[in-house]
Amino acid sequence: MTFAHRLLRKPLFGRFEVPWRMPEGVGESEWQRVSFASPTGATLIGLVAEAEANPVGTLVLAHPMGKAAKGFWLRYGHAELFRRAGFHVFAFDFNGFGESEAVSFDYPSDALAAGQFAQARYPALPVGLVGASFGAGWGMCSMARAGSPYRAAVLEGLFPSLPDFWRHYPVAYACLRASQFVWPKMERELRPEREATRIVGRPDVLLVYGDADPFTPPAHGERMLRAMEGCTNAELWVLPNVEHTFAYRDQREAYAGRVVPFLRSSLQRA
């Protein structure tokens, strides 16, 4: 870990990097703990559970920024929803979060490695990505890299750039702005709005936003939709009364009724 990385990591993510626990009420016996390598050199940790019915694809779940890390998908029921719908699910921790060691800010490499791990584990099945906020941003950036296996993606609360998101946190925002002068390459390479113009393979993408989300409002979705034009088959879906990263929690029936058919259709066509 470089000195610059160590210096920036604390104000940006320090409060979220805590010892990880399986969410209460989750049947641990249904999950297999796995480890895999990221191109950054980090050893990443994930959980795999298989579909309850005939599988139609494998979903990589890229978590939002938070102490729960990969547990977010288990705690709020996404994993159960997808398994019932016929998907194997693979939830992983980005480096520095959950059980994965901290190495760098190259989170897109983590998301790419997770997708490739999922593809290698179930080679006969197409791979899709479901990401929220932090995970949506870096997962989308990974789709612009050679070797991306993602044929479809549901990206909730996707931010156009780091400054767009961090402006709501004054100390972290100030540190980020300072880093743009002393380490400009870091922020440039972690800019989803730029990487969206380079997505490979023309996947189907569903952009999900809540109109009660102050951190990534629907206007961010409109920007990302424009950036993806020509590289993806993208659509924007705005849900009423939904807060940041909580589309399934706040609108369960609507989410299941839109997201599951989208993923099934997109991956079966891949």
pLDDT at site 32:
96
Euclidean distance between CA atoms 161 and 228, whole angstroms: 14
31, 70 in Cβ contact below 8 A? no
Does the CA dihedral 129-11-44-248 come out positive or negative?
A: negative
pTM of this prediction?
A: 0.91
Alpha helices in 35-76 (DSSP H): 71-75
What confidence score (pLDDT) does residue 84 get?
97
Tokens of 178: 């300072």
Q: What is the pLDDT of residue 224?
A: 97
**Residue 10: per-residue pLDDT:** 60
Can you spell out the DSSP letters for 88-118? EEEEEPPTTSTTSPP--S-HHHHHHHHHHHH
pLDDT at 104: 85
Question: In the sheet that 127-132 helps form, which strands lie side by side, from edge to edge?
Answer: 32-37, 43-49, 87-92, 57-62, 127-132, 150-156, 204-210, 233-239
Per-residue pLDDT reduced to its tens digit, 172-225: 545 555 555 545 565 566 789 999 999 999 999 999 999 999 999 999 999 999
Going from N- to C-terminal start, the domains of the chain cover 3-19+51-269
pLDDT at 18: 75
Segments in the chain below pLDDT 70: 1-16, 163-189
Tell me which DSSP letter residue 232 carries.
B
pLDDT score, position 11: 55
Pick the CATH number of 3-19+51-269 from 3.20.20.70, 3.40.630.10, 3.40.640.10, 3.40.50.1820: 3.40.50.1820
Distance CA 66, CA 64 (A): 6
The H-or-E segment that residue 78 falls in is: helix 78-84
Determine the distance from the C-alpha atom of residue 177 to the mean position of all C-alpha atoms in its chain, rounded to a whole number.
24
Give the whole-angstrom CA distance, residue 217 versus residue 165: 10
